[in-house]
Amino acid sequence: MRLTFLALSLFLASCVSAQSSVQEFQLGGTARILNDECIRLTPDAQYASGSAWYEKAIDLTRPFELTVCLVLGNRDELGADGIGFVFHPVMRTGYRGEGMGFAGLVPSLGIEFDTYQNFHLGDPAGDHVAITVNGQPHHYASLVGPNEVPNLEDGNKHLLWIQWDPFRKQLTVQLDGKERALLQLDLVKEVFAGKAKVFWGVTAATGRKTNAQDICIKKLVFAEAQPD
């Protein structure tokens, strides 16, 4: 255990740590910069979809930490659809709406913060977190969850921390200071066919029901992947 901690500490020391700028993201759809740290992915309007992809690829053989705040609007019963984090070898967004921006992407890893119940996808009644692979939005294919969380559509910022530990092959998702999802899997081998270089992005969508949905960047710790 002590050796693993020392190795992780040395790897983190060699990683890039930054108070990253919103200018380092490639925006798509309805995504717009709000201020120095926040991006509005969707306005409070029907059938909107937006994406923000970080411009630097990361190396999954090294540790990765992401600290952001999510704002999922203030409409509860009338709100939708949520925010998804996507890891994929290229900067490409999948199907929007209920697909949360990761549907149809192969190979991929998706972490969803879903605020709308789609019965045909196996969603629970409340807001929930799930981890899925290869663009499959139905929860029969979820590796973790869906795990219900307290209401996210309260207009407040919700602190999110995502960490990848390549030594333990462990992905941890904490929301508002509590662990909401834990995945034990060799992502490089089992998801990305041995390729450690991936991009990550965040996507959001609305449908008939709406919410303004934002992401505010706090801190990134990662190892930048070498160019092909």
pLDDT in tens, the chain (228 residues): 444 444 444 444 445 555 567 999 999 999 999 999 999 999 999 999 899 999 999 999 999 999 999 999 999 988 989 999 999 999 887 777 666 667 778 899 999 999 999 888 888 999 999 999 988 878 888 999 999 999 999 999 999 999 999 999 999 999 999 999 999 999 999 999 999 999 999 999 888 999 999 999 999 998 888 776
Residue 181 CA to residue 26 CA, distance in Å, equals: 27
pTM as predicted = 0.89
Residue 75 CA to residue 154 CA, distance in Å, equals: 7
Burial class for 193, CB neighbours closer than 10 Å (0-12, 13-18, 19+): exposed
Q: What is the pLDDT, as a whole number, of residue 20?
A: 65
Q: What is the dihedral of CA 20, 206, 108, 219, to 10 degrees?
A: 20
Instruction: Name which of 61, 86, 105 is nearest 224 in CA terms.
Output: 61
Residue 16 CA to residue 148 CA, distance in Å, equals: 33
Domains annotated for the chain, with CATH where assigned, are 2-222 (2.60.120.200)
Q: What is the pLDDT, as a whole number, of residue 106?
A: 85
Residues 110, 85: contact at Cβ < 8 Å?
yes
121 contact partners, CB below 8 Å, separation of at least 6: 98, 137, 138, 139
DSSP SS3 for 1: coil
User: In 104-141, which positions are buried (b, 16+ CB within 10 angstroms) versus exposed (e)?
Assistant: ebebbbbbbbbbbebeebebeeebbbbbbbebbbebee
CA atoms within 13 A on the CB side of 61: 7
Residues 39, 33: contact at Cβ < 8 Å?
yes
